[in-house]
Structure 1
């Protein structure tokens, strides 16, 4: 059973609330002989260009990761647009002294920017890339490719050349693999061609038949949810800032008139009172990883109180100001 803490208390309580709900998965034997424990700070969907307090939310994450002595940090996309006004926001992320990684979100291209602009601004090695850390292999994907026949809206696709690269990259390592992507490979119609990508992840195995991919993490949907598909856990990391409502019928004010007059899109959200983020702890000796729990309150009325429902996400408890703690064997 999950246990939660209130994010409005101290960072020390955040650092102590580490393990919650468990997945019943088989304990897979892996090539972890040279691996060492790793604490990886994760944050998603801060949305600098929407939230008035994005700087303080990101700053709270960085301070918590320093106090937790995290080995590395990663943001899962929808961080900020690559404009000069956001350089100071980027600098907050760079206050962390260890390795720092970025995933491209769909909103990085708002305002007419290209993905290449965001890659340069965030000093990413490429739109998609891989790296090894503490004896584990990590893959960052870009699900913003443009599919054939695309006409409008944000493209959400992983093209054939990227799938080929992913296949080759997974074949090149026998380490335990963790994958990061902005859009979900688990949600129906989230990424065009998701089934092909999932098949590559499922079929990547060591010479003795052990599945390589331990888990896939995403942001984008601003929900608290996880599902196992064919042995691979797909885990949503909730937004650091809010749940997006959209639609004039849900517009409301959660902050002062002054804030809403300057940040007009906040009226389309249900903000989280305090920022959400998590620590991914990978333990090679136990053959498992865990995510720390985070929970806060709604700032203003909740989506449910506003009459919002999308499918059954609200009734299932996925639309909530929290990140559930999880412990999963690999």
Structure 2
């Protein structure tokens, strides 16, 4: 079977020049080998540090500067464990290009291979930078890719593919997002919010190609993204229902996301959809997680307010999800 590209949209020279060291956020994690140290595959997860050098919004429980002491605590705890990699599920920063200069050195302390998902706040910050650095602007890069380890395929989807964060360098992607929002609003769908994005047709096709290839060669699949796909709330991907059904149809083992700082969980068919709590929320709360995969059992060890879960593999009936009216 044909092997589809791991990173179908590498950064252009203009994007690399404008983003500089921040362009590393678009690279898959550089894994140490082809198998974990033992039979158990382990990875760490962080969601929504959302750093900014601005005062806290105490009424909303948002503490922007506190990422500078929360992240080091989480990274120290993750460094103490035998992990194969760590993923940050989006929104490293809340705003301001300079925020990356404060945050990236903290990740330099992480000993494990690590990868990033681009969140909506990241996308807005990156798009502003690209628009300011180039005229006409370089488009917001597409950030979907896959990597493989020990019979597992890990797929990262880009929920900013079709979004209001796209700029003139992305062609009509922003206009497509506006049309999707208008359609969802006309049907009173809760995810019709300007802070949500969508997976475009080319990416959706690429994801299904990856799933079909993994299925054909007997690989299990885990998916990472920023925008949740289920349950059906105001924070899901604009076309989250469509993507959730696709993942469930191919019996993806689990999908991990951020964005909704409250966290969440849903199961569709045999697929677990897990939303991590946001690190931004709370003056001292530091949620993050370590996931273990062994013999089909998925164990989430939550730290701080993050929920711990033991999720056995179940052969379920075909997934049924409430469809938009």
- TM-score, normalising length: structure 1: 0.63
- How many Å separate the matches in 1 of 2:82 and 2:238? 38
- CA shift in 2, pair 1:73/1:116, >3 Å: farther
Q: Does 1:43 pair with 2:46?
A: yes
Partners of 1:116 and 1:43 lie apart in 2 by 26
In structure 2, runs of 5+ residues without a counterpart are 1-34, 55-63, 132-140, 164-176, 183-192, 314-325
Cα distance in 1 for partners of 2:109, 2:150 equals 21
Aligned to 1:94: 108
Q: How does 1:113-192 map to 2 (within 5 A)?
A: 113=127, 127-144=143-160, 145-146=162-163, 147-149=177-179, 150=181, 153-173=194-214, 174-188=218-232, 189=234, 190-192=236-238
Pairwise CA distance, 1:142? 1.0
Q: Spell out, residue by residue over 1:195-253, the C-alpha distance to the aligned partner (whole angstroms, 9 max, x if none).
A: 2212221222xxxxxx3x101111111113211122211111111120xxxxxxxxxxx
Number of equivalenced pairs:
228
Q: Is the contact between residue 43 and residue 86 of structure 2 (CA under 8 Å) also seen in structure 1?
A: yes
Is the 8 Å Cα contact of residues 279 and 291 (structure 1) preserved in structure 2? yes
The answer to whether the Cα contact below 8 Å between 1:82 and 1:113 also exists between their aligned partners in 2 is no
Deviation of the 1:113 alpha carbon: 2.5
Q: Specify which of 199, 220, 227 is matched with residue 266 of structure 2.
A: 227
- Structure 1 counterpart of 2:18: none
Task: Tell me the secondary structure at the aligned position of residue 289 of structure 1.
Answer: strand
Q: 1:198 to 1:116 in 2, by over 3 A?
A: farther
Q: How far apart are the structure 2 equivalents of 1:231 and 1:197? A: 15
CA distance in 2, matches of 1:171, 1:165: 10
Q: 1:280 aligns with which of 263, 281, 291?
A: 291
Q: Verify the 8 A CA contact 2:47 2:258 in the aligned structure 1.
A: yes
Give 3-state SS (helix, strand or coil) of 2:262's partner. coil
The alpha-carbon deviation at position 91 of structure 1 amounts to 2.0
State the match for 1:13 in structure 2. none
Give the Cα separation in 1 of the matches to 2:230 and 2:75: 29
Whether the 8 Å CA contact 2:256–2:276 is kept in 1: the answer is yes
Rounded to whole Å, the distance in 1 between the matches of 2:83 and 2:204 is 31
Secondary structure, counterpart of 2:65 in structure 1: coil
After TM superposition, give the deviation of residue 177 of structure 1 in Å. Answer: 0.6
Residue by residue over 1:238-282, the C-alpha shift from the partner in whole angstroms, topping out at 9 and shown as x without a partner, is 11120xxxxxxxxxxxxxxxxxxxxxxxxxxxx242311110111
- More relative contact order in 1 or in 2 (CA 8 Å, sep 6+)? 1
**Alignment correspondent of 1:324:** 307
**Equivalent pair of 1:238/1:276 in contact (CA under 8 Å):** yes
Q: Secondary structure at the match of 1:172?
A: helix
Q: Which residue of 2 aligns with 1:76?
A: 89
1:232-311 to structure 2, matched below 5 A, reads: 232-242=271-281, 271-283=282-294, 286-295=295-304
Q: List alignment gaps of at least 5 residues for structure 1.
A: 1-33, 118-124, 205-210, 243-270, 296-321
Secondary structure at the counterpart of residue 183 of structure 1: coil
